[in-house]
């Protein structure tokens, strides 16, 4: 019995969540006395996984899988799990994996729980802690099925190099799953890429702005601040609805979830639907001209003032700091 992880990549390169998942799987494998196998889809170089404790990689290379197809990808993961007789299948909580996990669970007749934070509390019975109600509460979930599937919440565990990485051999095996035409009944016709240089999914820092910025012509300072910090840019829902920013940047309950180390919200009021999506970010900084803005109630640090005065000063300070 091994643990199987789906190590996600984008454009042939691993996403950071793959390394967090591998680190987590390694720790769980140690406590269960088992090994970690990863399945990858069209990832160019898989050797990096070894560093984080993966013992074996099943490499899938197939042009038909160049665009994301939930059913086809789920089928690949199911077949990899069956090949490895995996009793524990781990996925991250990215948008793709949230689509995949229930499909994999149904096909393996497995119990699934998402948004897992932390290592299993117990393995017999199998219990994990997870966030609930848009990150406002935790619950303890028990999975009773023979095969178990977990979706690990982003940034909830961290990335750790394995202590035995130098001596351990990680084997790579080409894996050719049987893919059905029926898996492609739903096709991705186009992909709208975010304009930011860093993707929200992979970012450690997100600089996000709202209607307080008054119009799309004012986003230069947001992009510059993001640039200086190596951050991704994001926005509130009305901003993308108005067409000021691409929809891919909309974060919140109905947009992308953000679980970064640092979330900087500029000119965003802090409506409950926005907070619901960014709540699990570790440090929240708010810049708003209204001291009564609800965002200040959930902020770790707050600056009351005009974004058009504060943000340029922050950019200068960060530039000077980096130059030192
Ligand atoms: P506003 O509410 O207009 O706030 C602008 C803020 O900017 C104010 O606090 C103001 O004080 C401040 N400001 C103004 N000028 C300045 C200045 N010069 N400097 C600094 N600050 C300034 N919203 C989301 O974001 N994400 C979601 O996923 C989402 N999902 C929703 C789902 C549903 C079903 C519904 C009903 C709503 C949803 N919303 C969502 C909308 C949400 O309720 C709010 O309307 C929205 O978040 C407000 O966006 P905002 O803060 O950018 O704008």
Distances (CA, A) of 73 to 2, 12, 38, 61, 80: 20, 15, 14, 12, 11
Nearest CA to ligand 1 atom 38: 273
Stretch 138-155: mean pLDDT: 95
CATH code of 119's domain:
3.40.50.620
Tell me if 269 CB under 6 Å of ligand 1: yes
Tell me if 255 CB under 6 Å of ligand 1: yes
Residue 308: inside a domain: yes
Nearest residue to 149 via CA among 94, 88, 224: 88
User: What pLDDT, on the 0 to 100 scale, is given for residue 128?
Assistant: 97
Structure tokens at 230: 């190596």
| Residues 161 and 210 grouped into a single domain | no
Query: Residue 123: is its pLDDT beyond 80?
Result: yes
Residue 193: inside a domain: no
User: What pLDDT, on the 0 to 100 scale, is given for residue 154?
Assistant: 84
Q: Is residue 266 very low, low, confident or very high in pLDDT (cuts 50, 70, 90)? A: very high
Query: Residue 196: is its pLDDT beyond 60?
Result: no
Residue 178: inside a domain: yes
Domain that holds residue 307: 200-323
Query: Of 153, 184, 215, at which residue does a domain stop?
Result: 184
| Residues 14 and 102 grouped into a single domain | yes
Tell me if 206 CB under 6 Å of ligand 1: no
| Residues 174 and 208 grouped into a single domain | no
User: What pLDDT, on the 0 to 100 scale, is given for residue 24?
Assistant: 97
Residue 272: inside a domain: yes
- What's the mean pLDDT when you consider all of the chain? 93
User: What pLDDT, on the 0 to 100 scale, is given for residue 194?
Assistant: 60
> Three-state DSSP class for 225?
helix
Angle 20-155-172 (CA atoms, 0-180°, nearest 5)?
Answer: 10
Q: In this structure, what are the phi and psi dihedrals at residue 178, rounded to the nearest 5 degrees?
A: -90, 105
pLDDT digits (tens, 9 = 90+) for 163-178: 887 777 899 999 999 9
Share of the chain above pLDDT 90, in %: 78
Enumerate residues 6+ apart whose C-beta is below 8 A from 161: 23, 51, 52
Structurally, how many domains does the chain consist of? 2
Rounded Cα–Cα distance for residues 234 and 51 (Å): 31
Rounded Cα–Cα distance for residues 268 and 160 (Å): 34
- Ligand 1 centre to CA of 40 (Å) is 39
Tell me if 198 CB under 6 Å of ligand 1: no
User: What pLDDT, on the 0 to 100 scale, is given for residue 188?
Assistant: 81
Residue with tokens 């309950």: 253
Rounded Cα–Cα distance for residues 28 and 41 (Å): 23
Total number of residues shown for the chain: 324
The residue ranges of DSSP E strands in 168-226, in sequence order, are 171-174, 205-209
Rounded Cα–Cα distance for residues 77 and 176 (Å): 12
Stretch 154-159: mean pLDDT: 86
CATH code of 231's domain:
3.40.50.1220
| Residues 167 and 37 grouped into a single domain | yes
DSSP H helices in 230-306: 237-241, 272-278
Q: Read off the pTM.
A: 0.76
- Using left for φ > 0, alpha for ψ between -120 and 50, and beta otherwise, residue 12 falls in left
Query: Helix 95-108 to helix 70-84 angle, to the nearest 10 degrees?
Result: 50
- Ligand 1 centre to CA of 317 (Å) is 27
Atom of ligand 1 nearest to the CA of 253: 28
pLDDT digits (tens, 9 = 90+) for 62-108: 999 998 999 999 999 999 999 999 999 999 988 899 999 999 999 99
Nearest residue to 42 via CA among 80, 22, 13: 13
- Ligand 1 centre to CA of 212 (Å) is 8
Of 32-36, 53-57, 251-255, minimum mean pLDDT range: 251-255
């Amino acid at each position: 019995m091994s643990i199987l992880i789906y190590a996600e990549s984008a454009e042939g390169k691993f996403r950071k969540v793959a390394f967090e998942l591998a680190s987590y799987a390694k720790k769980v494998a140690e406590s269960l006395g088992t090994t970690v196998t990863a399945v990858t889809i069209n990832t160019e170089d898989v050797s990096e996984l070894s560093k984080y404790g993966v013992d074996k990689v099943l490499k899938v290379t197939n042009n038909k899988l160049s665009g994301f197809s939930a059913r086809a990808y789920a089928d690949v993961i199911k077949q990899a799990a069956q090949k490895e007789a995996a009793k524990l299948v781990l996925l991250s909580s990215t948008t793709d994996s949230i689509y995949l996990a229930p499909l994999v669970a149904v096909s393996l007749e497995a119990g699934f729980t998402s948004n897992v934070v932390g290592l299993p509390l117990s393995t017999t019975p199998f219990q994990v802690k997870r966030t609930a109600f848009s990150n406002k509460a935790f619950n303890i979930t028990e999975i009773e099925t023979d095969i178990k599937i977990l979706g690990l919440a982003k940034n909830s565990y961290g990335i750790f190099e394995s202590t035995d990485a130098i001596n351990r051999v990680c084997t790579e095996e080409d894996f050719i799953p049987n893919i059905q035409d029926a898996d492609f009944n739903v096709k991705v016709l186009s992909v709208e890429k975010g304009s930011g240089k860093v993707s929200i999914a992979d970012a450690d820092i997100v600089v996000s702005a709202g209607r307080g910025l008054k119009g799309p012509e004012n986003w230069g300072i947001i992009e510059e601040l993001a640039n200086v910090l190596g951050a991704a840019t994001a926005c509130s829902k009305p901003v993308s609805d108005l067409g000021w920013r691409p929809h891919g940047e909309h974060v919140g309950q109905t947009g992308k979830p953000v679980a970064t180390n640092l979330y900087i919200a500029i000119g965003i009021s802090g409506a409950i639907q926005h907070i619901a999506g960014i709540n699990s970010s570790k440090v929240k900084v708010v810049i708003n001209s209204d001291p009564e803005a609800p965002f200040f109630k959930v902020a770790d640090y707050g600056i009351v003032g005009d974004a058009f005065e504060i943000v340029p000063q922050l950019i200068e300070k960060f530039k000077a700091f980096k130059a030192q």
